[in-house]
Amino acid sequence: MNIFKGIIAYPITPFDREEKIDLPLFKTLLERLVQSGANGIAPLGSTGVLPYLNDAEKEAVTEAALQQVNKRLPVLVGVSCLTTERTLYHAKFAEKAGAAAVMVIPASYWKLTDEEIFRHYEKIAAGISIPIMAYNNPATGGIDMSPALLKRLLQIPNVTMIKESTGDVQRMHYLRRELGDDVEFFNGSNPLALAAFAAGAKGWCTAAPNLIPDLNNQLYAAITRNKLDTARTLFYRQQELLQFISGKGLPRTIQAGLQIQGIESGYLRSPLQPLGTEDDGRLRDILAALGN
């Protein structure tokens, strides 16, 4: 059974002026995503600045997300840490709190071997009963998991999903070819959304619904109805924004975009800083052209 499909929306983690998490604002922004038509919610991803939070803060965001969503949508919680022990700790916490699944990226100061990565996932999987999404994003995690390793990870019983964020659509074609229609892979590269769906991706993990939920939902609807000409038109309309979001950094771009739309989005945590004047102006122009 596919727990997740379609548009998986990633909320930001907003902070106050003292750089403490603003949980009431987080819940407000999260509710916007729930109401936006998204098919799932994924707190504590790159957009939610997971690596910048301590253990207590991760737990608070996890609990707040699950309380606010209240089972209306499946929730995928990011639990990645440098060590296997801490990753498993947060995976267990997310499971107990009610998460439908957890997402794990093998981030490390040292470059891990394939065997170390496999054992990392194996130990985490052995400690929980909910599904795991293996997240491959060398740009943020510093490790590029090969298609062969991703295929091997799927041998672990509850590693059931792959999120590919390398921007290489051929990896998705490889997984589809090697594992057939049952493989659940998801696109994590905004500029690759259309190509990924064409390759058979079951969903798109993205921060874009914070700013343009209707366009994102219309694109997925066109794909599911096999209206490829409509899907191409919808994708090219939002492509510039998708590239901007990925190129300028998810937290700062979404935070700025929400403010431009007149939506309170809080502050960033150091060392992250707001968009510069030039980039902010460009984002305003892009959103204005989209009618946002």
Chosen CATH of 6-235 out of 3.20.20.70, 1.10.8.60, 2.40.50.100, 3.30.450.80: 3.20.20.70
Helix (H), strand (E) at residue 224? helix 213-224
Closest CA to 189 of 151, 242, 253: 242
Mean pLDDT for the stretch of residues 31-48: 96
**Residue 2's pLDDT band (cuts 50, 70, 90):** low
**Residue 1's pLDDT band (cuts 50, 70, 90):** low
Torsion of CA 50, 193, 141, 181, to 10 degrees: 110
> Residue 97 above 80 pLDDT?
yes
> Residue 251 above 80 pLDDT?
yes
Closest CA to 178 of 157, 210, 152: 152
> Residue 179 above 80 pLDDT?
no
Tokens representing 93 are: 């916490």
Mean pLDDT for the stretch of residues 240-248: 96
3-class state of residue 160 by DSSP: strand
Q: Using alpha carbons, list the distances in angstroms from residue 256 to 69, 119, 180, 245.
A: 24, 39, 41, 10
3-class state of residue 186 by DSSP: strand
Q: Decide if 165 contacts 136 (C-beta within 8 A).
A: yes
- The domain segmentation of the chain, as residue ranges, is 6-235
- Between CA 212 and CA 74 the distance in angstroms is 21
Tens of pLDDT along 189-207?
Answer: 999 999 999 988 999 999 9
Taking the complete model, does pTM exceed 0.85, yes or no? yes
∠ CA(137), CA(189), CA(116), 5° rounding? 15
Which residue is listed with tokens 């979404």? 254
Kindly report the length of the chain. Answer: 292
- Between CA 159 and CA 150 the distance in angstroms is 10
Mean pLDDT for the stretch of residues 9-30: 98
- Between CA 29 and CA 16 the distance in angstroms is 14
The whole-chain average pLDDT of the chain stands at: 94
